């Protein structure tokens, strides 16, 4: 399924593909693009994870990236913030290629990002309050009182009482840690928030709380969000647009890695068996692979 | 889908021409090549990591709240074990040397041998070894755990440079604290050697110190402390590098901690040899007549 926001043109495309690439560039110029991925390839040694990805994320959009485990969703997210360098291609944030930035420029650009990690990635050695205050102390001249106020307000925003601030992350439940991670990611009012599997490992109620927080964050100010998930409930609830990646190991050389790009409502109407299988949670021919094993 | 065949069915079979030959001659050559490539890559990676650390060190001094806990961890908490080791090494030297020196009627020279060995070699090397075991491995395990749990990525994602935030304070702590620890190891070793030689073995106190004074100079003390600065930097950089490049999982963290100690220890001994040769040459160049510094 095609989308005006993305294409899956391989590098050095010719003919129609080149026209599509040109059309995408023209479209990128027309909309207010915050993040653009151009012909992205990522490989670790000989193991390729992403191949020829093109993706345009307009400002204010909530994009869900879905796909089975190992398809490269988290690698894509880390490449989008410059934690992983592309083997080939570009990731442009607000028109500037991350790979072309110096270490200092990249560091200052990342202040405009928020990143919610799969396991929250809170600093063990610090309290919850110190964790949320960390980006504020790093990048603002606020006084201690102002920082404290901001920390408490961010914790309240994610539904946590002030009493958790002096606790260590190890004393919190998984859901609370995720919410602290979200509070920390939002501390500096980022323009782009990246969520890596925000509901993985949580019970259904806590998952819905996190979904609600993602939506409320967007309502509170015009943030752009990219949510990597394999939870279809999350994708349908929070996203304006869904992109589905497929593992390279299961694709032929000439097949695009993005097998779906469109609004969540279109997921059920996709004619691609791989998409409908994933959406319905059906193993399909994978069962025969198990028998073969 | 353009192609109606199933994706798994379309996976191409391996090309026989692309499969490596498996003759034994080819195997060892391939293994040797891989070993050289890996070693070169590791040395290059470590050099880049060290260079970036020194660049951050020169650019921005770390904040006190990241610096002082590392000073405490490296310096204060290592003090008891280094002092204890120094004391025992001084006494062991006395025990091992006494019989031979007594046979030659030179037992009053024990002070010179014990104290010279301590301040030039054993004090710095043992303090560095204790530090590599206690602090280097701990740094590697801590940073490895931070790597595995994505805390290092979290730091970077918040616009904080992980090298500046995590490595520079540890390097500074090792650089500033190891001379103090070496002096403590030297002092306690001298006390331990004196206690066993004079109090237990009954060697004449006056001659014990007189011989020490004759043979041990300030240059010996200086050379030990000077070498320790390199040992400290090695412990911090190797520990942090192994932690930053730790493999996934508990096994990866364990291996990183072990490798940090083993590599540090080997490098400490190698540096000790090279710096020893260099300092001897420097001494002979400055004081060809054998005069002492200061």
Whether the pLDDT of residue B266 is over 80: the answer is yes
pLDDT digits (tens, 9 = 90+) for A241-258: 999 999 998 888 888 999
pLDDT at B23: 53
Residue B48 domain-assigned (yes or no): no
Residue B136 domain-assigned (yes or no): yes
Q: What is the dihedral of CA B260, B263, B268, B273, to 10 degrees?
A: 180
pLDDT digits (tens, 9 = 90+) for A147-163: 999 999 999 988 899 99
Which whole number is the average pLDDT over A19-26? 42
A117, A135, A285 member nearest B150 (Cβ)? A117
pLDDT at A30: 62
Q: Place A293 in a pLDDT band, splitting at 50, 70 and 90.
A: low
**What is the value of ipTM here, to two decimals?**
0.82
pLDDT digits (tens, 9 = 90+) for B253-265: 999 999 999 999 9
Beta carbons of A274 and B7 less than 8 Å apart: yes
Whether the pLDDT of residue A2 is over 50: the answer is no
Residue B240 domain-assigned (yes or no): yes
Segments making up each domain of chain A, as ranges:
123-189
Whether the pLDDT of residue B12 is over 50: the answer is no
Q: What is the mean pLDDT of chain B?
A: 87
Residue B37 domain-assigned (yes or no): no
User: pLDDT above 90 covers what percent of chain B?
Assistant: 62
Q: Determine the distance in angstroms separating the CA of A124 from the nearest CA of chain B, rounded to an integer.
A: 9
Beta carbons of A138 and B158 less than 8 Å apart: yes
Nearest CA in chain B to A118: B150
- Rg for chain B, CA atoms, rounded: 26
pLDDT digits (tens, 9 = 90+) for B33-69: 989 998 899 899 999 999 999 998 888 888 888 899 9
Q: Place A270 in a pLDDT band, splitting at 50, 70 and 90.
A: confident
Whether the pLDDT of residue A7 is over 80: the answer is no
Number of CB atoms found within 10 A of residue B279's CB: 18
Residue B67 domain-assigned (yes or no): no
According to the per-residue pLDDT averaged within each range, which of A15-29, A95-109, B252-266 is highest?
A: B252-266
Q: Phi first, then psi: what are they for A96, rounded to 5°?
A: -115, 130
Q: Does residue A161 come out as left (phi exceeding 0), alpha (psi in the -120 to 50 range) or beta? A: beta
CA angle B99, B280, B208 (to 5 degrees): 30
Residue B11 domain-assigned (yes or no): no
Q: Give the residue carrying structure tokens 């093109």.
A: A54
Which whole number is the average pLDDT over B135-153? 94
Q: Place B249 in a pLDDT band, splitting at 50, 70 and 90.
A: confident
User: pLDDT above 70 covers what percent of chain A?
Assistant: 88
pLDDT digits (tens, 9 = 90+) for A163-198: 999 999 999 988 899 999 999 999 988 999 999 998
Nearest CA in chain A to B153: A83
Beta carbons of B154 and A285 less than 8 Å apart: no
pLDDT at A11: 35
Whether the pLDDT of residue B107 is over 90: the answer is no
Q: What is the mean pLDDT of chain A?
A: 85
Task: Report the range of poorest mean pLDDT among A213-217, A269-273, B14-18.
Answer: B14-18
Buried (b) or exposed (e) across A224-261, using 16+ Cβ within 10 A? Answer: bbbbbbbbbebbbbbbebbbbbbebebbeeebbbbbbb
Q: How many domains does chain B have?
A: 1
Whether the pLDDT of residue B271 is over 70: the answer is yes
Beta carbons of A123 and B151 less than 8 Å apart: yes
Residues B128/B275, Cβ–Cβ less than 8 Å? no
First vs last C-alpha separation in chain A: 33
The parent domain of residue B217 ranges over 81-285
CA angle A57, A59, A64 (to 5 degrees): 45
pLDDT digits (tens, 9 = 90+) for B166-205: 999 999 999 999 999 999 999 999 999 999 999 999 888 8
- Rg for chain A, CA atoms, rounded: 20
Residues A155/A186, Cβ–Cβ less than 8 Å? no
Sign, CA torsion B190/B193/B199/B205: negative
**Which of A45, A78, A104, A121 is the best substitution to test chain B (most B C-beta atoms within 10 A)?**
A121
Whether the pLDDT of residue B3 is over 60: the answer is no
pLDDT at B286: 86
Dig out the tokens for B114 from the structure.
Answer: 């014990």
- Of the two residues A138 and B262, the one the predictor is more confident about is B262
pLDDT at A138: 86
Whether the pLDDT of residue A284 is over 80: the answer is no
Dig out the tokens for A89 from the structure.
Answer: 């291609």
Whether the pLDDT of residue B133 is over 90: the answer is yes
Chain centre to alpha carbon of residue B51 = 18
Residue B253 domain-assigned (yes or no): yes
The H-assigned helical ranges of chain B are: 7-10, 24-59, 64-71, 79-103, 110-117, 123-131, 137-148, 151-157, 162, 168-194, 205-215, 218-244, 249-286
Whether the pLDDT of residue B83 is over 80: the answer is yes
pLDDT at A157: 86
Beta carbons of A83 and B153 less than 8 Å apart: yes
pLDDT at B18: 45
């Amino acid at each position: 399924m095609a989308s005006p926001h993305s294409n899956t043109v391989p590098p050095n495309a010719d003919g129609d593909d080149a026209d599509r690439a040109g059309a995408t560039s023209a479209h990128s110029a027309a909309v207010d693009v915050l993040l653009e991925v151009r012909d992205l390839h990522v490989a670790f040694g000989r193991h390729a994870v992403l191949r020829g990805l093109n993706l345009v994320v307009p400002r204010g959009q909530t994009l869900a990236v879905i796909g089975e485990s190992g398809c490269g969703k988290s690698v894509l997210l880390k490449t989008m913030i410059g934690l992983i360098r592309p083997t080939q291609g570009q990731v442009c944030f607000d028109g500037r290629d991350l790979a072309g930035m110096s270490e200092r420029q990249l560091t200052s650009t990342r202040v405009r990002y928020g990143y919610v990690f799969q396991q929250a990635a809170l600093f063990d050695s610090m309290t919850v309050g110190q964790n949320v205050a960390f980006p504020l102390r790093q990048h603002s001249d606020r006084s201690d009182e102002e920082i404290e106020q901001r920390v408490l307000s961010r914790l309240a925003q994610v539904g946590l009482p002030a009493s958790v601030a002096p606790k260590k992350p190890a004393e919190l439940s998984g859901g609370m840690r995720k919410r602290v991670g979200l509070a920390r990611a939002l501390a500096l009012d980022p323009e782009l928030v990246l969520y890596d599997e925000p509901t993985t490992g949580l019970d259904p109620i806590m998952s819905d709380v996190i979904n609600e927080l993602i939506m409320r964050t967007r309502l509170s100010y015009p943030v752009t969000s990219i949510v990597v998930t394999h939870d279809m409930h999350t994708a349908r609830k929070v996203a304006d647009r869904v992109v589905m990646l497929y593992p390279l190991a299961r694709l032929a050389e000439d097949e695009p890695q993005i097998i779906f790009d469109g609004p969540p409502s279109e997921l059920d109407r996709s004619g691609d068996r791989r998409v409908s299988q994933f959406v319905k949670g059906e193993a399909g021919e994978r069962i025969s692979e198990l028998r073969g094993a | 889908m353009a192609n109606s065949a199933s994706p798994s069915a379309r996976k191409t079979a391996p090309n026989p021409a692309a499969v490596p030959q498996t003759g034994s001659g080819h195997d060892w050559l391939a293994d040797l090549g891989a070993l050289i490539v890996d070693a070169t890559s590791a040395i290059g990676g470590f050099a880049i990591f060290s260079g970036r650390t020194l660049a951050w060190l020169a650019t921005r001094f770390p904040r006190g709240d990241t610096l002082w806990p590392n000073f405490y961890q490296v310096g204060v908490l290592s003090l008891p074990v280094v002092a204890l080791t120094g004391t025992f090494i001084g006494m062991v030297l006395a025990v091992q040397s006494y019989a031979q020196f007594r046979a030659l009627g030179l037992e009053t020279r024990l002070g010179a041998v014990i104290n010279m060995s301590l301040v030039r070699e054993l004090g710095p090397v043992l303090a560095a070894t204790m530090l590599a075991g206690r602090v280097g491995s701990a740094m590697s395990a801590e940073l490895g755990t931070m790597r595995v749990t994505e805390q290092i990525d979290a730091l970077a994602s918040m616009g904080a440079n992980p090298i500046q935030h995590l490595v520079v304070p540890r390097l500074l702590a090792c650089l500033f604290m190891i001379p103090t620890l070496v002096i403590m190891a030297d002092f306690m070793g001298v006390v331990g050697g004196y206690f066993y030689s004079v109090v237990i073995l009954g060697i004449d106190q006056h001659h014990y110190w007189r011989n020490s004074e004759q043979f041990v100079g300030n240059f010996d003390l200086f050379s030990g402390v000077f070498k320790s600065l390199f040992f400290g930097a090695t412990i911090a950089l190797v520990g942090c590098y192994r932690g930053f490049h730790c493999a996934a999982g508990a096994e990866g963290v364990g291996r990183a901690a072990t490798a940090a100690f083993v590599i540090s220890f080997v490098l400490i001994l190698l540096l000790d040899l090279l710096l020893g040769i260099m300092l001897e040459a420097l001494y002979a160049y400055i004081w060809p007549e054998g005069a002492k510094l200061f």
